[in-house]
Amino acid sequence: MTNTIDNLTAEIGLVVGQILKTDLALLKGYSQAKARAIASFTLILGRAHAAGTLSRAQLEDEAAELERMVVRFVRNLQALATTTVERLLGGISQLLMG
């Protein structure tokens, strides 16, 4: 029985590992791209503000857009995490039912 438990444990580990490898690569690429976009926009705003080329109202509008960018980014991260959990549940379930 131990051999069967060890084999099943190893198979579960492989399924988890494959799913996480794929999803974490996607998450890393997405996170880096969005973080770069948010950082770039932040620096542009900061430079424009420092140069005095933005009115107070424009700065407030752009700051609100920056906040929306961050909120969308975090919500997308949450969705990717949820998708990963669902893929893990499906993969392990499929393995166990097989």
Residues 25-83: tens digit of each pLDDT: 999 999 999 999 999 999 999 999 999 999 999 999 999 999 999 999 999 999 999 99
Q: Supply φ then ψ for residue 52, to 5 degrees.
A: 75, 20
Token couple for 69: 């960018």
Residues 80-98: tens digit of each pLDDT: 999 999 999 999 999 999 8
CB atoms under 10 Å from CB of 83, counted, come to: 13
Does the model's pTM come out above 0.75? Answer: yes
Token couple for 45: 């705003």
CA distance 13 to 69: 36
